[in-house]
Amino acid sequence: MTKLKTLSVRLYGVPVGTLQQDKVGKMRFEYLENVSHALSVSMPLDRRRYGNMPCEIYFGGLLPESTEARRAIGQMFDANPNSTFSLLRAIGSDCAGAVSFHPPEHPVVEDGSHEIRVKRVSDEELEQHIRELPQKPLFIDLDGLRLSLAGVQEKAAVCIVDNEVCLPEDGTPTTHILKPKVKEDYPASVQNEYLCLRTAARVGLNVPNVEIRRAGAELYLLVERYDRKFDERNRIRRIHQEDFCQALGQRQKYQRFGGPGFKACFDLLIKSRIPVIDRMSLMQSVVFNFVIGNADAHGKNFAVLYDSQGRFRLAPFYDILCTQVYEALTQDMCMKVGGHYNFKDVTGDDWKQFSEEVKISFPVLKRLVFEKAGPIATALAEERRLLKGTEFDTEVADRMVDQVFKNMSRLVQTLS
């Protein structure tokens, strides 16, 4: 009988289950007895065993989506780039949230607060690391670094200590996500995301702290991780989280291909610790993304964040970009409003249908739009003004402002 390949699945460093792979590559997961916190909304404790598909959705959702990144990781660690199990065995010791994967014989160390142990990186070294991201995704294998982040875009996880970029050592959790510019078809992507997140903060959305930095010729965005926090002793703690696709058990992130739509997202938050507040926050983000021109708000760009009792709240919003300024990108949104995906096709009746689907009254939605749409455009214009004349200035910012004022005017007129 062929022995199953096995990984110990741990939450905050404590074993909660086993992930196994059979000889044909299928996975299965089983919770241990007396576990108090589930890994995911989609994998509750009232059912102890889960087959291959739930495993692919939840555990696969912890890995990079890019084929190139998976291939590079596979070559680096002699892992199968098409196997979720194989990749997690290679780089699953530090994932988003507080879940991690280890050989069963690996000593159990409860994942409380971590003393900060890092290696400082010079600007010259960082510039080179950023350039090598396609070959060394996530900065893995730099001084033995092994960690995983989901998503398509090239990125890395780092620690910021004394305002300097550092690489973690001895299992120190990372504190920030480093995101360099994306390919040339999308100029000034760093400034674009920076302006969107700064604008979101100005109008009251819960978003991470963000800044633009440069390492030599390489521009990058530095985003503070919301799934990590410092305690009173200045030690780092992990916080468990999962994106909406994982929580909803959806493999696809785009609605038109079977991924979650707004109804499923709002219904998920009925289970939140404070559903009224979280559902209204999500409504504010829908309005914000529509006005800011972000067509890429899909199911993996929303998340929930867990407390120590295993209850969840809506996580801060992230990965916000004015995609409308890039002609190469679709003008269709990832989730439709009413019956339409395209910004320009959405009517007042579509917004009314949307409000009925998410169970938030249409008058409340209209009031939110009338109160927030104008300030969103004004806040972006102010953030753009602050960027003007700096080393990070870009004409893309002017195009963003023009587009957002158009979006604001169209939306207000549609609902008037």
Terminal C-alpha separation, the chain: 69
Residues of the chain with CATH 3.30.200: 118-224
- Does the pLDDT value for residue 243 go beyond 70? yes
Q: What is the pLDDT of residue 67?
A: 83
Using CB atoms within 10 Å of the CB of residue 74, give its burial: 0 to 12 exposed, 13 to 18 middle, 19+ buried.
middle
- Does the pLDDT value for residue 121 go beyond 50? yes
Contact 166, 121 (CB under 8 A): yes
Q: What is the pLDDT of residue 142?
A: 53
Q: Which CATH architecture has domain 235-415?
A: Orthogonal Bundle (1.10)
The domain 118-224: what is its CATH number?
3.30.200
Which string of b and e fits 307-323 if b means at least 16 CB within 10 Å? eeeeebbbbbbbbbbbb
- Does the pLDDT value for residue 144 go beyond 80? no
Q: What is the pLDDT of residue 284?
A: 98
Beta bridge partners, 6, equal 20
pLDDT digits (tens, 9 = 90+) for 157-196: 899 999 999 998 888 888 999 999 887 678 999 999 999 9
How is residue 110 written in tokens? 């409860």
pTM of the predicted protein model: 0.93
Distance in angstroms (rounded) separating the CA atoms of residues 74 and 63: 12
DSSP helix/strand/coil, 388: coil
133 pLDDT band, cuts 50/70/90, is: confident
Q: Which residues are catalytic?
A: 296
- Does the pLDDT value for residue 103 go beyond 70? yes
Residues of the chain with CATH 1.10.1070.20: 235-415
122 pLDDT band, cuts 50/70/90, is: very high
pLDDT digits (tens, 9 = 90+) for 316-340: 999 999 999 998 888 899 999 999 9
Specify the DSSP element, H or E, that contains 64: none
pLDDT digits (tens, 9 = 90+) for 342-400: 999 999 999 999 999 999 999 999 999 999 999 999 999 999 999 999 999 999 999 99
Sheet order of strands, 312-314 included:
241-243, 303-306, 312-314
What is the phi/psi pair of residue 182, to 5°?
Answer: -90, 180
Distance in angstroms (rounded) separating the CA atoms of residues 40 and 47: 12
